[in-house]
A and B are shown apart, each in its own frame.
Chain A
Amino acid sequence: GDSVTQTEGLVTLTEGLPVMLNCTYQTIYSNPFLFWYVQHLNESPRLLLKSFTDNKRTEHQGFHATLHKSSSSFHLQKSSAQLSDSALYYCAPSSSGSWQLIFGSGTQLTVMP
């Protein structure tokens, strides 16, 4: 079945430094979709960005990620972290043939002043 591995646990950064949260996945489907969801404190998860296309960069709210099927990766990046980026980030693979998303264990990003 599908599975996903994220940067484990807690990532702490100083404001202004670059962000990179790793995500690798395994799927039985040849055409996977990849998602990043973000959950701020006392809120529910919401979609941050997604990709259906191999080797194409997708961007939203200053974050970007590129789906690389050759390495089964979909790392989340941002050039300069902001305090408001502090949140829990989930990577999730899916496909057109699957009813469900398999959420990774989540990476807690904390940005310090």
Chain B
Amino acid sequence: ETAVFQTPNYHVTQVGNEVSFNCKQTLGHDTMYWYKQDSKKLLKIMFSYNNKQLIVNETVPRRFSPQSSDKAHLNLRIKSVEPEDSAVYLCASRVWGSQDTQYFGPGTRLLVL
């Protein structure tokens, strides 16, 4: 049963354009993440949010900017896309404690031409 939703599923754009991705979780978790999964399937964290506050901002280019309106929503904007931004962007929600688990959304596949 899907509880982390992402839109769009797939996006094709050209170098220099701006794109935005949306993520919503209905699990009531406080912590959400953005990951980038590249063509080699490497899964790298980009941003961590707790209750709509940025906690961890890994070294990502400045053209990436996350935004959270409330703890259930986490968006990602890329100001001027570049070819190396082509990847799958995965949103995740996390429950802590003994049930510690990350729940991933279906991902947004970005192709930059």
Interface residues of A (CB under 8 A from B): 33, 35, 37, 39, 43-47, 50, 52, 88, 90, 94, 99-103, 105-106, 108
Contacts and interface: CB of A to CB of B under 8 A. Distances in A.
Contacts of A37: 102
Given A50-B101, A100-B48, A101-B45, 17 more contacts: A39-B41, A43-B106, A44-B105, A44-B106, A45-B102, A47-B102, A50-B100, A52-B98, A88-B41, A90-B43, A99-B50, A100-B45, A100-B56, A101-B102, A102-B45, A103-B43, A105-B41
A52 B100 CA distance: 10
Interface in B57-113: 90, 98, 100-107
Contacts of A52: 98, 100
Interface of B: 31, 33, 40-45, 48, 50, 55-56, 90, 98, 100-107
A15 B48 CA distance: 39
Contacts of A46: 103-104
